[in-house]
Structure 1
Amino acid sequence: MDGNDVKLNQIYTSGLRDVGLQDKYDLNKSTVFVSGTQALVRLCLLQAEKDRAAGLNTAGYVTGYRGSPLGGIDLQFSQAEPALTAAGVTFHPGLNEDLAATAVWGTQQINLHGEGTRDGVFAIWYGKGPGVDRTGDVFRHGNLAGSSEHGGVLVLMGDDHAGESSTVCHQSEYAMMDAMIPVLNPANLAEMVDYGLHGWAMSRYAGVWVGIKCVKDNIESTASVRLTTDDFHSHLPNDFKPPEGGLNIRRNDDRFAQESRLHAQKMTAVKAYARANRLDRVTVPGGANPRFGIVSTGKAYMDVLQGLADLGIDHQMAERLGLSVYKVGMSWPLDPAGLTEFATPLEKMLVVEEKRGLIEPQIKETLYGLDGAPVIIGKRGIDGTRLLPEEGSVNATQVAHIIATELLAGVTLAPPVAANLDQIKTQLERDVGALAMARTPYFCAGCPHNSSTVLPEGARGYAGIGCHWMAQFMDRNVEGNTHMGGEGANWIGEACFSTRRHVFQNIGDGTFNHSGLMAIRAAVAADVNITYKVLYNDAVAMTGGQTHEGGMTPVEIARLLDACGVRDLALVTDDLSRHDRSTYPKGVSFHHRSELQLVQTRLERIEGVTGLIYDQTCATEKRRRRKRGTMPDPDQRIFINPEVCEGCGDCGVQSNCVAVLPLETELGRKRKIDQSACNKDFSCINGFCPSFVSVSGGALRKPAAAALSDEELPLPEPAVSFDTPVSYVLTGVGGTGVVTIAALLGMAAHLEGKGCGIIDMAGLAQKGGAVTSHIRLARTPEDISAIRIGPGGADVMLGCDMLVSADAALLKLMNSSGHVIANLNEMPTGGFTRNTEEHLPTADMTDRLSTIVPSDHATLLDTSQMAVRLLGDSIASNLLLLGVAWQKGLIP
């Protein structure tokens, strides 16, 4: 390191926060950079520390079943095992949601028989919305039974309001209401921890299970936040006296007494706890004479704050307008005392919440019949017109418009606020127009589903939960689905009234392990003609490559299918040598994957239920294991000789592989193999073509990077302005490092002590699908409200892929005076594997990106080519794009 390097190092590290990768679980560090699921790990550590300080010998227990937006929770808890074990917290992922909830129920029973080793167990159950639905019976029984005095239960409801990575758009509060489980609705990451601690305290005090709403915008966000028990204080109510015998779980409890205690006493205790700890409170007083009020909760509350900021209504302006805001922490049951006090002086009240109204009906019930009660609007306006939608999600721009035009209708707005409202109206009304093509999710290069989901001519199949769901997007005659665990049971009913004799049903190994076996048993009992294709890929690929609970193997699956009465069973694999045939049930036939169509044709002719186990490891998991040295890496690569290739595209058709790319030449479009994406499945060589070249014993040569002259370095320091928070939309393709760029920006802001908030929206995108990150940077964490960006709210777009960036919904997010920095490189969609002449609408994309903002604010350049020239690898193109934005002064 020379003198100049030392000087630069001092410049760029002075004043930075002392940060380590394990800070998130170090309770001595108060401000940490964490994701939503990491915050839940820290929550357990904080509760354990809190109990130890109180002299309690407790333990923690966490179980449930993964699923977006809680798809990565088990990975985080597994990786944090050393810290959790030291704190006495056990992580035990469940086989499915309802059995996991039953295990949680058991943790509250440990001292009923005098056999417990701890004073109590604080427990967490987690699951996505559909998992909440299937667990209703356990929730009802468990909540009626109650929680232990030094234990407590949190029910984490993973809600994907917009259905961005789920089969349905879901909202779980009503399921909680049905089981009489109180619901706490945190607005941000800090409150997720705060409300978690309150939830356990409430659970212990009132003897109830407590729901914590985990919306995508919180649980899948990352931010720099203060998470410590120093700021947490829990107070027991002084206006409620628990009955004799208490409210906690009891031995031999009578069901009638349970019901009476829950309705008559536990709910009263819940409301008393919420009151004593000000879970519902006024956050914007509205001056001495408030006239207008906003009531909101959770993520929607942050939209309210952002909406007010977008309008230019600060606390002083709110006082002049007589505008107050009431933040609800416990959205059910709503405490009437605080709400009534807040509503009494108001003329009009706006209720802002996502999905079906939950707070609004409770408010109307509370205030009905009171003299001088305010007019209440929310889902509907005064005249019954629709205001806030019950479907999808709500954004800050919508909320700002409704505040100004509905709640404050007839009020003369200050000129700056009126000007901001005009701009908001323009953004909402702007019609960008649809792009002719979209980037849809696709199977990874070398994915087993590329081959396994192909059906014989004329056959029909059903999809299931898992990555193979995407077969519905392809020309495979796979269409339709059920809920998780119901795969094929729909055919039991349909078959009675259909001219079709037989269908195929895809079912992933994870679903089979979770609950799918019951559907197969039902099909056997109904004696319908169906072939179950159990797609064994050796990992829970859709949520991060986790192993299956119990370690299900093809042999165990075969034995279960045989025991269920499946009449004919075949195993198809890419490697027959992996299987010891003597361990399988008698009658199982074994085949290489090249025989798949012959095997399927035979099975569909057999009466009754037949089975096919397709065994091939997930391509992404193969790549991970090869990098870790736990799986052999074939010493072979396939290339296409462009001198021989005629561009027929049969290699792509046969393999369905996204690593087969177009190669534009003077003689027309040909094909090449993207060696960076290739996972060495080698199914492309099934194409009828002599152009393939196999190379063994060699390694890829890294292209030589261009040398930069002394005159080109150093680059000038950019002029950066950071007076107000800056909002970014980062767009790209799954698997290319888009989320990594967002994390780099966030960590950089955290290091400098700035505020940052990130939401990553990857959805089904593993490879080839659209990925978007919303990023907000501010001088302090307190300056950030809603992280999700609404129409017109984005100051900068970092477009790592033209096709994704030019999408109408994303362009609508751009501020009319914002900046676009985009990569001009053209990456084919997955559809290119089937449509050999597919071309991206390059001219239209370029025009849309360069005209959505002022012309001098659009910078379009091929950073992929630049990365290859400067660094020898296109993988650095996204980082280079970030560097361009930095040089233009767009990164504070």
Structure 2
Amino acid sequence: MDGMPKGLRPERADIDHAYRLDDRYGRTEGQVYLSGTQALVRLLLLQADRDRRAGLNTAGFVSGYRGSPLGGLDQALWQAQAHLDARAIRFVPGINEDLGATAVMGSQQVESSGEGTVEGVFGLWYGKGPGLDRSGDVLKHANAYGSSPHGGVLAVAGDDHGGVSSSMPHQSDLAMIAWSMPVLNPSGVREYLEFGLYGYALSRFSGAWVGFKAISESVESAATIQLPSLDQGFLPVAFEPPPGGLHQRWPDLPGLAIEERLAAKIAAVKAFARVNRIDRTVLGTGGWLRIVTTGKAHLDLMEALRLLGIGPAEAAEIGLSVHKIGLSWPLEPDFALSAARGAEEILVVEEKAPVVEGQLKDLLYHLPAGERPRAVVGKTDEFGARLLPATGELRPWIVAKALVERIGHRLPERDFSTRLADLLPDEAPAATGPSLARTPYFCSGCPHNSSTRVPEGSKALAGIGCHFMASWMDRDTVGLSQMGGEGVSWIGQAPFSKRRHIFQNLGEGTYFHSGLLAIRQAVAAKATITYKILFTTPSP
């Protein structure tokens, strides 16, 4: 901790010797230790408790499909079954993500049906990024049709920004924005409870489903968290909804009225966020340089400041302040304008695509020249040169490098070269001996060791799942499609190939999820293909 700037040093917590593991769900106040996955479970319990305190007779409903980084959420829900039952929260795993989303959509129809046993049902849908992509039609319709006034829905997207356990990296907020679905972007597991309760209140007010980013680095981490007070509610908001309101209703027939209602929902979201602010200034006030952050990138920025020795006093001397955006879309304009007012330059730090940066530039573009910052930079500088990457994952040293560059332009006397040199990764040493890298392989005793082999001269197509590792095991296995498309690519290749037959590996989970439809397509096309259904589940 030596050299850590004063004001950024974490407080040392006393050890609670009375703490028990089940306290993560049982304690009603104080601190609990939660993983990101467990925090999502605790969020449901808190929402039920908050409704009870408000005199509301509500229930909860959860559905979706597991997949890293949300691969353990179903297990966590089952383990908390007694706590869920005590609060009338029902968990029904989806066969796949889109059917799970359809089930959650049904939970929002309880309130308006006139046949409900409760006043409303708060829902939670979950799925990893590719699952959100395949569920686009359902989620778009569900958001348009709306949540119920005493229900509300969080759509939790497990985003794998680094492509660690996915066929490719993904960023789900871009799809959510296309569906006019507001997006909450917590920086880490410590914000899951606060942001989740906020999301339910926002969904109930606006009639929108609310997106909730749960990236790998947060949902797969753990932290000691202060439980929020359930007595602290949300402020009333003056907003005039259009005739018929913003929420789920029937009839709701096709037409332009649905599109107009979506625009009204976004206006309601901004109105709620203006009064009940989740964006906040976290370091300093004013200054020539305003740093705007969102999501996990906020932690990267704060760590970069710490490593550079920039605490509150140093930030004031330099003339910088930090402003954190919790609702990354739509950007609430009043806070954004107040954060930008009087700035010479704004640096936007966010991971992946410039979601906040683009909105901020649009918001500031029409300001009078004297009120507009000289530059808004992020992915590129004011001359178009790359500053922060729009691909991969941010790291504190990457942010520190960009920050030092911006400060250096304005204050060349500020020398961070020594500190920065200590942060930059070393070049990889030249290889001097045999590599110690271990190629991933099937577990000992796994049926994939034998089931992925093909007869001599044959070829197999790979599929989604750990059996994809057959691709590098000299087993004549090639190719990859999206989950549920296994074997269908052969239909387009076969008429123009010298090969007359191919095998397709298909995990039993994928078969149940969506692979059966691919088999039906292969049968309909009379494709010369043999599907191998790969079982890993042990026999009873």
TM beyond 0.5: yes
- Residue equivalent to 1:449: 448
CA distances 1:473-508 after superposition (whole Å, capped 9, x unpaired): 211111111000000000000112111111100001
Matched, 1:518 2:499: no
Does residue 351 of structure 2 align to residue 343 of structure 1? no
Is 1:194–1:232's contact at 8 Å kept on the other side of the alignment? no
- 1:285 is aligned to 284
Report deviation, 1:226: 1.3
Q: Which amino acid aligns with 2:293?
A: S
* CA deviation vs aligned residue, 1:283-329 (integer Å, no higher than 9, x gap): 1134xx51001111010011111111110100111111110111111
Q: Give the conservation status (yes or no) of the 8 Å contact 2:132–2:157.
A: yes
Contact 1:157 1:211 (C-alpha < 8 Å) held by counterparts = yes
How many angstroms does 1:437 deviate by?
4.2
- Please list, as runs of the form range in 1=range in 2, the aligned pairs for 1:761-800 lying within 5 A after superposition: none
Report the equivalent of 1:134.
134
Question: Is 1:359 the equivalent of 2:371?
Answer: no
User: Does structure 1 residue 489 correspond to structure 2 residue 488?
Assistant: yes
User: What is the deviation of 1:472?
Assistant: 1.1
Off by >6 Å, runs of 4+ in structure 1: none
Quickly say closer, same or farther: Cα 1:62–1:408, change in 2 above 3 A.
Answer: farther
Question: Are 2:299 and 1:302 equivalent residues in the alignment?
Answer: yes
Give the whole-Å Cα distance in 1 for the aligned partners of 2:231 and 2:443: 46
Q: Which residue number in structure 2 is paired with residue 156 of structure 1? A: 156
How big is each residue's C-alpha offset from its partner over 1:377-429, in whole Å with a ceiling of 9 and x where there is no partner?
111122211121121100111101111113542314556x55323423xx335
Alignment of 1:688-703 (within 5 A): none
- Quote the residue 1:199 is aligned against: 199
Find the aligned partners of 2:91 and 2:430 in 1 and give their Cα distance.
48
Whole-angstrom distance in 1 between the partners of 2:216 and 2:173: 15
Relative distance call for 1:304 and 1:233 in structure 2 (3 A) is farther
CA distance in 1, matches of 2:429, 2:315: 34
Cα displacement (A) at 1:190: 2.1
Does the CA-based 8 Å contact 2:28-2:227 persist in structure 1? Answer: no
Distance 2:129 2:231 in 1: 31
Paired with 1:196 and 1:173, the residues of 2 have a C-alpha distance of: 16
Q: Measure, in 2, the Cα distance between the counterparts of 1:433 and 1:101.
A: 51
Give me the whole-angstrom Cα distance separating, in 1, the residues matched to 2:161 and 2:499. 37
Count of aligned residue pairs for this structure pair: 521
Offset of 1:16 from its aligned partner? Answer: 4.3
Q: 2:29, 2:229 within 8 Å by CA — same for their partners in 1?
A: no
Whether the 8 Å CA contact 2:48–2:87 is kept in 1: the answer is yes
Give per-residue Cα distances to partners, 1:492-538, cap 9 Å, x unaligned.
Answer: 00112111111100001100000000000100111111000001222
Aligned partner of 1:505 in structure 2 is: 504
2:6 maps to what in 1? none
Q: Which amino acid aligns with 1:534?
A: I
For 1:334, give the aligned amino acid: L
1:176 aligned partner: 176
Structure 1 Cα separation of the partners of residues 427 and 24 of structure 2 = 42
Matched, 1:384 2:408: no
The corresponding residue for 2:10 is none
**Residue aligned with 1:290, SS:** coil
Question: Aligned partner of 1:392: which letter?
Answer: G
- Which residue matches 1:101? 101
What aligned pairs does 1:578-593 form with structure 2 within 5 A after superposition?
A: none
User: In the alignment, which residue of structure 2 is the partner of 1:10?
Assistant: none
Deviation sequence 1:191-242 (CA, Å, 0-9, x none): 111111111100000000000001011100011111233585422323x233
Q: Identify if the C-alpha distance between structure 1 residues 378 and 456 changes in structure 2 by more than 3 Å, giving closer, same or farther.
A: same
Q: 1:15 to 1:465 in 2, by over 3 A?
A: closer
Q: Distance in 2 between matches of 1:478 and 1:220?
A: 31
Written as runs of structure 1 = structure 2, the 5 A alignment for 1:726-741 is none
Structure 2 CA distance, aligned partners of 1:382 and 1:228? 41
- Equivalent-residue separation in structure 2 for 1:294 and 1:142 (angstroms): 35
Matches within 5 A, 1:298-697: 298-370=295-367, 371-372=369-370, 373-374=372-373, 375-412=375-412, 414=414, 417-424=416-423, 427-428=424-425, 430-433=427-430, 436-538=435-537, 617=538
1:73-88 aligned at under 5 Å gives the runs: 73-88=73-88
Give the residue type in structure 2 aligned to 1:297: T
SS at structure 2 position matched to 1:382: coil
Name which structure has the greater RCO, CA cutoff 8 Å, separation 6+. Answer: 2
Deviations 1:579-612 (A, max 9, x none): xxxxxxxxxxxxxxxxxxxxxxxxxxxxxxxxxx
* Contact 2:270–2:330 (CA under 8 A) maintained in structure 1: yes
For 2:436 and 2:458, locate their aligned partners in 1 and report how far apart those are by CA, in whole Å: 29
**Does the 8 Å CA contact 1:190/1:227 hold for their aligned counterparts?**
no
**Structure 1 stretches lacking a partner, 5+ long:** 1-13, 539-616, 623-630, 632-892
Partner of 1:51: 51
Q: Which residue of 2 aligns with 1:17?
A: 17
Q: Kindly, what percent of the aligned residue pairs are identical?
A: 50
Consecutive unaligned residues in structure 2, runs of 5 or more: 1-13
Counterpart amino acid of residue 82 in structure 2:
P
Match runs of 1:822-841 below 5 Å: none
| Cα distance in structure 2, aligned partners of 1:53 and 1:28 | 13
The 1:250/1:516 distance shift into structure 2, 3 A limit, reads same
Contact 1:350 1:407 in 2 (8 A): no
Q: In structure 2, how many angstroms separate the alpha carbons of the residues matched to 1:155 and 1:15?
A: 35
When structure 1 is superposed on structure 2, of 458-467 and 250-259 the one drifting more is: 250-259
TM normalised by structure 2 equals 0.93
TM-score normalized with structure 1 length: 0.57
In the alignment, the residues of structure 2 paired with residue 266 and residue 73 of structure 1 have an alpha-carbon distance, to the nearest angstrom, of 30
Residue 18 of structure 1 aligns to a residue whose secondary structure is coil
Q: Distance in 2 between matches of 1:446 and 1:232?
A: 54
2:4 maps to which residue?
A: none
Q: Give RMSD over aligned pairs.
A: 1.7
| Corresponding residue for residue 684 of structure 1 | none
Distance change >3 Å, CA 149–CA 323, structure 1 → 2: same
Deviation sequence 1:93-140 (CA, Å, 0-9, x none): 100001110001100001323100110000000000000100010111
For residues 532 and 232 of structure 2, what CA distance do their matches in structure 1 show? Answer: 52
User: Residue 118 of structure 1 corresponds to which residue in structure 2?
Assistant: 118
